[in-house]
Amino acid sequence: MLARLVALNGSAALGLQVEDYRKVDGVKVVRQALQTLQTVDQMHTETHDLESFKFEFVPLDRFSAPR
């Protein structure tokens, strides 16, 4: 399961730390995550809490490589 994600965009660093999962219809989904954005002079953090989750059909062509 994904626990941590880090990406760089120029001098800014974006981080996501998954803190908890829960099962929805037998599938583990993120329940809570902490997101951070670090720039040269400041840091911003947000906590994301899952309140609801809905599974929907997604057409296979949405996963195709860009043209």
| Chain Cα centroid distance, residue 22 | 14
Residue 11 pLDDT: 86
Confidence band, pLDDT 50/70/90 cuts, at residue 67: confident
The answer to whether the pTM exceeds 0.75 is: no
Indicate the domain borders of the chain: 4-51
Q: What angle do CA 58, 14, 44 make, to 5 degrees?
A: 115
Helix (H, G, I), strand (E, B) or coil at 58: coil
Retrieve residue 60's tokens: 């296979």
- Predicted confidence (pLDDT) per residue in 32-65, tens digit: 999 999 988 899 999 999 888 888 999 999 999 9
How is the beta sheet containing 12-24 ordered, strand by strand? 4-9, 12-24, 27-38, 43-49
